[in-house]
Amino acid sequence: MDPRILKKMRSDWEDRAKENAQYYVQNERKKWEQRDFFRSGEINVANEVMTDMVAICGGQRSPLDLRMLEIGCGVGRMTRMLSTIFGKVTGVDISDEMIRQARANTSDLSNVDLVVGDGCTLTALPDAAYDFAFSFIVFQHIPAYPVIASYCREVFRVLQPGGLFKFQVQGHTGLRRSEMDTWLGYPVSPTEAERLAAESGFAIERQDGAGTQWYWLWFRKPK
């Protein structure tokens, strides 16, 4: 892992968080009303998590009995809504400032833990501790394949057997980018998605949106 990449990821996201965190978390608007900002997170959770509850819960468990991990939680835009669905939510972000704001935004929630990460591992989290892992509008900004691969290995480690990892990556392989571009990120092809799953131990349960910015992957940890 090139340490320059992780250093630039942290520096860029720290600067963005200090400049205008809400915009860089959800750049639909330059200036958000607080209510509308968190409402946008509720809509994303409804569209991207609630629609997968059978796959997440196995049709037998209540989500209130599950522990979930959110990678790239930002300032807690989706974390608040996720905390009403799952029993325990752990949010991880590379930016100290993002986590500082997320803690303020979730201070009334007793079932949320927030952790500053190093940008490629989950070393602060124990093995087999989570039932579901999720990431949205985060991996699309990661600038290098080895960083994505490292996260996949780490998610495999912290998920319980049978757990699901649903995440979105940049799939637009025609983009012009540099290895240090922490905005456009590294474009993942279907072949590389298969490689990510195989190298980390996951099985690909489903994929959607290949070739677009919204390339979704469902990775299942075998039981």
| pLDDT tens digits, one per residue of 9-35 | 999 999 999 999 999 999 989 899 999
For residue 205, pLDDT over 80 is answered with yes
Q: Where are the domains of the chain?
A: 3-14+64-220
Q: What is the pLDDT of residues 105-164, one digit of tens each?
A: 999 999 999 999 999 999 999 999 999 999 999 999 999 999 999 999 999 999 999 999
Query: How sure is the predictor about 173, in pLDDT bands with cuts at 50, 70 and 90?
Result: confident
Q: Which fold has domain 3-14+64-220?
A: Rossmann fold (3.40.50)
| Mean pLDDT to the nearest integer, 201-205 | 98
Tokens 């409402």, located at residue: 39
User: What span, in angstroms and rounded, lies between the C-alpha atoms of 183 and 175?
Assistant: 12
* Model pTM score: 0.96
Q: How many Å apart are CA 22 and CA 78, to the nearest integer? A: 12
- Provide the β-strand partners of residue 203: 220
Q: At 176, is the pLDDT very low, low, confident or very high (cuts 50, 70, 90)?
A: low
Token code pair at residue 94: 């590379």
CA-to-CA distance for 79 and 172, rounded, in angstroms?
27
* Average pLDDT over the chain, rounded to an integer: 95
Q: How far does the chain reach from its first CA to its final CA, in angstroms?
A: 30
